[in-house]
Amino acid sequence: MASRYYMLLQLLLASPLQASEASGLPFVINTWGGVFTAATDAAYLALQDPATSALDAVEIGCATCEANQCDGSVGYGGSPDENCETTLDAMIMDGETMKSGAVAALRRVKNAIGVARHVLEYTSHTLLAGDLATQFAVQNGFTEEETSTEDSLGRCAEWKAASCQPNYRINVTPNATQTCGPYTPVPLNSTSPSYSSLIAPDAVTTSHDTISMIAIHSSGVMAAGTSTNGASHKIPGRVGDGPITGSGSYVDSEVGGCGATGDGDIMMRFLPCYQAVESLRGGLSPQEAADDAVRRMVTKYPAISSGIVVVNNKGEHAGAGSGWTFTYAFRGGSMNETTVVTVPPIDSIQSTLRYREQLQL
């Protein structure tokens, strides 16, 4: 049954975009072009020294984006929450051992990917969160410092002046699309005519990006990692898909890896990167695996903004996305510079119809 399923996907989910040929090893690929390419270059150049591991390269690449505050959506000083604080999410995964380390809602420490690496290397845990993740970071030599900036605090003040719009509260009174709280939950069994008007769409209200990176060492060993400051105006304590193994990123050196970005609260419900890597294991190409992962989400949530980049252990890669024009960057072998690939969004209506039709076969 499983092999028949993958054969059907190969026939029915073929995309006009085909997986790019391998550029050679070492190889680095990550979500987004533009300012994110500095991270690609940093990781790739690090791998020119064979003593630098794939894990090292991923940490170096993501840390570069954190330090550069890539697009205001990675690192300190971006995406303030309702309390005007910037908190950070990150994870890193070893494609040999399948072990991952992650931090979520990390407070007052700028190098989130570094703390995630310490969780991987110095604990038998996978995920640490909040103030206690900060405590762990400080115990391991990281500096506790302010992660908000004058700019992020100013943007948060403007948001509050606009009655905290948009925000992520739903099923509350007063109506969260018109006011700035404080809010009281509406009883979920309410039959009041006003109840339906209080239910906001299950979708993100502010766009945001994530760097998700996969590196392949010249030996073939792979690693993956993700770093983000999450969604602007999020409810304090919110954790997106970035630090969730199998959602923000996933890697297995025997097969390949995946990185994701987009509407994290929705995407984590599908574990798209785990799905994509397992699709590679089942025989799909990187393009087919990426398309399949996105179509699974679009079928349930047609308006979702998503971006998936998939690479097999040979360095063949592809991307798919929905709701926006997604880009990814890669550099490998003897390439002199990073290349950026533009990925048009999948048609949500046609995608849903085709996907449902193939599942009925």
Tokens coding 235: 């409810």
Q: Quick one: which of 111, 96, 127, 135 has its CA closest to 59? A: 111
On whether 265 is known to bind a ligand per the annotation, the reply is no
Q: Which residues pair with 102 in a beta bridge?
A: 91, 127
Output the CA angle 149-76-32, nearest 5 degrees. 125
Q: CA gyration radius for the chain?
A: 20
Task: Give the integer Cα–Cα distance in Å for 99 and 143.
Answer: 25
On whether 263 is known to bind a ligand per the annotation, the reply is yes
Please indicate whether residue 325 is annotated as part of the active site.
no
Tokens coding 294: 């996105």
On whether 323 is known to bind a ligand per the annotation, the reply is no
Task: Give the integer Cα–Cα distance in Å for 26 and 29.
Answer: 11
On whether 241 is known to bind a ligand per the annotation, the reply is yes
Burial 29-49 (b: 16+ CB within 10 A, else e): bbbbbebbbbbbbbbbbbbee
On whether 151 is known to bind a ligand per the annotation, the reply is no
Query: 102 phi and psi, to 5 degrees?
Result: -150, 155
On whether 89 is known to bind a ligand per the annotation, the reply is no
**Burial of residue 227, with CB atoms counted within 10 A of its CB: 0-12 exposed, 13-18 middle, 19 or more buried:** buried
Q: Quick one: which of 10, 4, 2 has its CA closest to 292? A: 10
64, 86, 210, 299: the catalytic one is 210
Using N-to-C axis directions, what is the helix angle for 2-12 and 348-359, rounded to 10°?
150
Place of tokens 């049954």: 1
Q: Which residues pair with 227 in a beta bridge?
A: 90, 211
Task: Give the integer Cα–Cα distance in Å for 288 and 271.
Answer: 16
On whether 321 is known to bind a ligand per the annotation, the reply is no
Residue 123 near residue 196 (C-beta atoms within 8 A): no
Residue 71 near residue 35 (C-beta atoms within 8 A): yes
Tokens coding 97: 């051992």
On whether 311 is known to bind a ligand per the annotation, the reply is no
Q: Which residues pair with 26 in a beta bridge?
A: none
Binding-site residues: 238-241, 261-264
- Binding site membership for substrate: which residues? 238-241, 261-264
Active site residues: 210
